Every structure is written in C-alpha cells, then in structure tokens.
Structure 1
Amino acid sequence: MSSTASHLDACENCTTALQGDFCHQCGQSAHSPVRSFGHAIEEVFESFWHLDGRIFRTLRQLLLPGRLAADYLAGHRTRYIPPIRLFVIVAVLTFFVARLAVHVDAGTFVDKTPAPPEVATAFKDARTSEEVEKARRAHIAPLETARATMPESLRFTMDRAIAKIEKQAAKRNEELAGQPAPTPSATPTPPPRAETEAPRGYTPVDIDFLPGFANRWLTGQAEIIRLNLPRISERPQLLVNAFFASVPSALFVLVPLFALLLKLFYLGSGRLYLEHLVVALYSHAFLCVALLGILLLTMLAGQRPDVPVVGTLIGLAIAALLTWMPVYLLIMQRRVYGQSWLVTSIKFMALGWLYFTVVTTATVFLAIASLARI
C-alpha cells in the first residue's frame, strides 16, 4: 500500500485535523503501521534505535562523575533515560547477576569441621566395644547437657556434633568387629529430652511498646526463622538467593533516605528534594553498574583459575573499581553542588559515615528478614 494511503487526514487517536507527520494535539504519528508494512517495519527500527541511542548516551554520561545528574538537572532530559527507570533496570540486573555469581556449595558448612583430636584418640585407643561405648557416652554427655540449655533454634548444631561422635563410634566398632557397622541416618536424631526439659516450641515475642499484632507478627517470623535454620545450614545458597532478591526492594527505601540526607546537608543550595532524589538515583545507579562489573569480572576469573596472570589482572581491575567508587561519588558531589573541595570533602565524609551506618543496619535486618523468606 502506498504511503499516501497510509497517511491520514485526521488523528485516529483524538480526531484532530493533522498538519504534519505527527498530531500536534496528542503526538501520535500520522502514519498508521497497520496500513503499511513499510511503516510497521520503520516503526520497529525507529523505536529500537531511538531507545538504543538513549541507553548508550545515558551510560556514557553516567560513567563521568556528576555529568549525567548535572545535565539532567539543567533541563537536558529528553536525550537520557529517566533516572528512576535507569536505576530500576540497573539494580534488578545487577542483583540478578549477583545471584548467579555468588554461589555457596551445598554442605559447605556441614560436616566440614573435624572432630576434636581427643575424641578421635579416645575411639582409636578403645580395644573393645564396651570401651567404645564408654568413650561415646563420655563425649556425648556434655553435649547433651549443653543442648538442653540452648534455644530450640540452635540445637541442631549440637545434634550434628553428637551425630559426628556417633559416626566415629560406629566406625571404631566396625574396625573391631571386622564388619560394616549400620550407617547412621543422614539426619541426626536428637537425643531424648529429659523429663525436666521444656516441651518443644518457641518463646513468644513480647516487646512492651509494640502493639499486639506486631508482637504476633514478630513471633511468627521468629518461628519461621527457627524452622529454616537447619535447612539453611544444609543449603546456604537459599539464604544467598533470598538476600539478593530482597536488595532491590530495600534500595527503594535507602535511595529516598539518601536523598533526604543530601537535602539536610545542602539546605542552602536552593534545590528541591526531588532534585536531590535525582542525584541519589544516578549515584546508586553508578554503584550498581560498578558492582555489576565486579561480579562479571569475578565470574570471568572463575572460568580461568588455571591461569594465574588472569586472576592477577582481574584482581587489579576489581581493586581499581572499588577504589574508584568513593572517588566517583566525591567528584559527583562536587560537580553537582559546586562547593569547594574542602567543604565538599567534609560533607562527603560526614554523609558517607551516616549513610554507611544506615546501610549496615539495613543489611543486618535484610539478612534476618531473608531467613524468614526461604
């Protein structure tokens, strides 16, 4: 179909009379992609190259400290991806890659610590099954006593220690008898509770200044964490995945908080809170890009562990990135707010200390919350 046939006299969206290739009322193109195959193909490539150009232009400016934020705040916005969109894309991509790059093998924290030397020696010196049993009881008794005084959520550690001793005792009995001993269960059986021991369960959370529903919610979360601890000990990757999956959500709280700190530190700058938020979004977007680079370099190093020079070069590159990150933020703060290096440095250190404290606290809470999300 010809281009004339595909060019309309009135906008199909708002019925306004057309005066060019685009509607001056709503901005819709005068060319209908459903009436011309050529215009359909043109629209696809035009959208792709337009977006592609904005992506590369935005990333190029982002790598220069403060250039993108200053340009955006100066009113040059059309040529760049909006800060919130850029931040969301980069953050989600970075922590998705983090889940792939950071891997903890199953069983890393299970059965990796050898039994104390005195335990192995006691079983080695035993010459009869009675001596083995005597040594077994002597070493298990204090563990059972300690287990009875521990919180329910931590008793699985004692259960594993007891299971290790049971396994060594069975192995020595096998050597003495000259025949295989019964293989102990993969899941250690907790020793029987004494009659005076409290029944299994959990202690309700009762914080005076919190309302009842909050205490009930915390109690439920604590119980979920208690039940998850043995599973995490067996498969620590579950905790890693849950943690990295939660980070982007946490950043949506931390970034506005960082913008608020910028507002407080630059009260006399005349900038609005939303302008500080733009600075916060772009600075965190850069940090995510730098972290993404570190993760990719780490994955690359893992592919060639047999070539020492590769590991050395990648290590130097990672060290350079880690060094550049705070330097970038300092230069960005100086360029955007235009104060002297001395004043900027003082504010940068004070702001960095406050925000580091907030991030550290948030990380601890996020790690605890991740225990309940598995």
Structure 2
Amino acid sequence: MNETADTATPATDPAAPPPAACRNCGSTLHGPHCYACGQPVKGLVRPLGNLFGDLMDSVFNIDTRVLRTIPPLFAKPGFLTTEYFAGRQVRYVTPVRLFFFLCILAFFVARLAIDSGDGLDVNINDPEAGEIGAAMTEAEVIVRRDAALKRFNDAKAKIPDSPGKGGAEVGFDVQADQARSTAETRIKQLRDAAAKGEPAPAAMDDTFSFGKNGAWDEKKNPVHVPGAPKFVDGWFNQKIGRAKQNIKRIKAEPAQYVETFVSSIPTALFVLVPIFALMLKLVYAFKRRLYMEHLVVSLHSHAFLSLNLLLVFACMALQRLVPANGLATDLLGWCIGLLITWMPIYLLLMQKRVYGQGWPMTLLKYFALGTAYMTLLGFAISGAAIASLVWM
C-alpha cells in the first residue's frame, strides 16, 4: 500500500516557487506573453537600462533585415515581392515599414538638400518695385506688375531641378495670377476715377478674385461651393483666408514654401499607394489575385521609388559640397541621370516578373498604368502644392 500511495502522489519540492501568474488575468505564464489575455510579462515600469537594452536589440534586429532587404529592393526588380508571396517574409523588412521608412527618409534628405542651397533665398517683395495695388497711375501699375512677374519667374527658376519641381512651381504660378488680377483691378479703379474726374483712389489691399464675382471677402463676398452645406462653405472660405495670409509670407520667404511643399509629398504618396493597388487589381483582373497582393506590389514599387529618390537627393546634396565644374560634379550628375533612368526600367521588369505575362501584354498594361498613374501623380503633387499654401 505504501508503494501504491507513493505512485499516486508524486513527491514535490516544498522549496520550489509557485509558477508565475499573469498580473492582468491570473493565468499561469508559459512564456513572455500570457496565453489567455496576451499581456506581455515585461512592462515599461522597470529599470531604464533594461528598456534601453530591449530597444537596442530591436534596432539591431531591424538593421540585419535592412541589410538583406535594401540591396535586392534596388537591384532585383520584383524579387522581394515574389519572396513575400512564396512565404519567405520574416527575413525581410515588411512592405509597410519599408515604404514608410524610406519615404520619410527620402524627403527628409530632400529638405536638407534644398535647405542647403543658396538659390532659394529670393526677396520677392522688392521695395523698389512697390506694391501693385498702391500704384497711382496706369503706367506705374504695368511697371510694377511686370517687375513682380519677373521676380516670380526668377524664383521658379531657382527651385532645384528634382522630382516634384513642377508641383513646387504651382505656388509661384498662383502668385503670378494674383499679380495679374490685382493689376487689372487697380487699372480699372484708376480708369473709373479718371472718368469721373476724381483723384486716384487709395491703395488697395491684397485680394483674391474668383471668376466674375469680384474681390473675395470672407464676410461680404465669400465663395460658395454648389450644393455644399453651410459649414463646408465656412471651412472652405476659412482656408482661402489662410492661403491669402500665407501668400504674403511666401513673398518674404519663398524657401519656406518649397520646404513645406516637399514635406507634403509623402502624404500624397501614401494616398497613391492604395489607389495604385486598385489600378493593378483592375488591369490584372483575370489573374484572380487578392487586392492585398496588389497592395504588396504597390508598397514595394513605392518603396523602390523612395529609395531611388533618396539616392538622387543624396547626390544633389553632395554636388553642393564638391567643387563646381569638377570631375566629382560630373560623376554625380551622371549618377543622378542613371538613377532617374533606372526608375521606369525597374518598374517594367518588376511588373513582368511578378505577374508573369508575355512582353506584348506587359508593355501594353505598363504604359496604360504609367499614363494613368502619372496623371494621378500630377494631381497629387499639384494638390500638395496648393495645400502647402494653406498649411505652411
């Protein structure tokens, strides 16, 4: 009987500690996370040295994956995407994190490259030319208008020759249109006063004009969006007022506008990623792939574009550091040209490798997608440029 009792009740060490329990739900812990509620064993309330060690471990873990991800992303079109579809995912940086990291880094370097240039320090508000609305004769209005238009064109010419330059020019085009509109309004005021035999009217304030409704005013002459409720009209006119104030800031600090514009481009690209995935879904409808698969293709495509732009902006920044008209400048110029040329070639090869269609259909779909995407990109960049007038 003693032998039976010993078998039924195994001996336990009375000195052994009880198993650890989750502090949230009380379940027995079997690892670094609770299997019942998911709470991690390690919280933030612990020595700072431990937290720093975990942070460094995470960073170095990401770094090892970056070293395996960046080279094929740049040099092997479609490789990362096919690896992802094949189930080999943990060894590489995830598509979302990869695109987010490279996009933000690329345009951070772009801001540094643009800020380091001396060509954007343009004084648009030339005191010798004066304000158009303060001119007292028609001839003086024309002289000041032409001088203002010349300054805007000079400022546009000094924007760095880089991707997105066309969008950055939109702000200066808006100012040029405003200068022409102000000149027309001032000339009409002077002519009406002369016809009545009255002296020239007082200097006019800066105004916005929309269509034939005359000068914009948030209270007296607001813009009405057809079919929109009252609160939408209020919001829209408030933003117009902010843009009007910011145009005065652009006259004094054009570089600040370009910086704000460059900062807004990543947001535009984030919006285009899911749209481009939808375009791929429509073009390759007979492939019966899930939308999420096309989204992975879109994320890897935009991650490559961000990486390529990062290298372009880095070369532009280096050009400012090396002696002008030297061998290094020429080599960097060649590098920029090759990087820009590699973009469409890479995307074509990637599309061919991922979707596996013949060259005739791949080329047809590539050019159709490219045309539609460049149109959307133009709208996105122009929208970013106009939004910069409001949010700067």
**Do both share a fold (TM > 0.5)?**
yes
Counterpart for residue 213 of structure 1: 231
Is 1:234 matched up with 2:252?
yes
Q: How does 1:9-158 map onto structure 2 within 5 Å?
A: 10=20, 16=28, 18=30, 25=35, 46-63=57-74, 64-103=76-115, 105-111=120-126, 139-140=139-140, 154=179
Of residues 80-89 and 208-217 in structure 1, the stretch that sits farther from structure 2 once superposed is 208-217
4+ residue segments displaced more than 3 Å: 7-18, 21-32, 34-49, 108-115, 136-139, 141-147, 150-158, 197-203
The amino acid of 1:98's aligned partner reads A
Q: Distance in 2 between matches of 1:31 and 1:106?
A: 52
Q: Distance in 1 between matches of 2:79 and 2:91?
A: 13
Out of 296, 321, 344, which is 1:326 matched to?
A: 344
Is 1:301 matched up with 2:312?
no
Following superposition, the deviation at residue 22 of structure 1 comes to 6.9
Do the aligned partners of 1:83 and 1:281 also contact (CA within 8 Å) in 2?
A: yes
Q: Distance in 2 between matches of 1:77 and 1:8?
A: 39
Counterpart for residue 202 of structure 2: 192
Q: Distance in 1 between matches of 2:85 and 2:105?
A: 26
Is 1:369 matched up with 2:379?
no
Kindly tell me: are residues 76 and 11 of structure 1, through their superposed partners in 2, closer, same or farther at Cα, counting changes over 3 Å?
A: farther
List per-residue Cα deviations over 1:283-323 (Å, max 9, x = no partner). Answer: 00110010000000000001113352111111110000000
Following superposition, the deviation at residue 106 of structure 1 comes to 2.8
Q: How does 1:245-256 map onto structure 2 within 5 Å?
A: 245-256=263-274
Do the aligned partners of 1:256 and 1:280 also contact (CA within 8 Å) in 2?
A: yes
Unpaired runs of 5+ in structure 2? Answer: 1-16, 131-135, 149-174, 184-199, 208-213
TM-score under structure 1 length normalisation: 0.70
Kindly tell me: are residues 114 and 313 of structure 1, through their superposed partners in 2, closer, same or farther at Cα, counting changes over 3 Å?
A: farther
Q: Distance in 2 between matches of 1:90 and 1:304?
A: 26
Unpaired runs of 5+ in structure 1? Answer: 1-6, 116-135, 159-189
List per-residue Cα deviations over 1:59-102 (Å, max 9, x = no partner). Answer: 12212110001111221111111111111111111111111112
Do the aligned partners of 2:145 and 2:179 also contact (CA within 8 Å) in 1?
A: no
Q: How does 1:333-372 map onto structure 2 within 5 Å?
A: 333-372=351-390
Kindly tell me: are residues 191 and 283 of structure 1, through their superposed partners in 2, closer, same or farther at Cα, counting changes over 3 Å?
A: farther
The amino acid of 1:140's aligned partner reads E
Q: What SS is found at the alignment partner of 1:223?
A: helix
Q: Distance in 2 between matches of 1:36 and 1:207?
A: 58
List per-residue Cα deviations over 1:186-222 (Å, max 9, x = no partner). Answer: xxxx97248xx99984541123233332222222212
TM-score under structure 2 length normalisation: 0.67
The amino acid of 2:60's aligned partner reads W
Following superposition, the deviation at residue 57 of structure 1 comes to 0.9
Q: Distance in 1 between matches of 2:216 and 2:224?
A: 19
Instruction: Report how many residues are paired.
Output: 314
Q: What SS is found at the alignment partner of 1:192?
A: coil
Do the aligned partners of 1:152 and 1:226 also contact (CA within 8 Å) in 2?
A: no
Following superposition, the deviation at residue 105 of structure 1 comes to 2.7
Following superposition, the deviation at residue 29 of structure 1 comes to 10
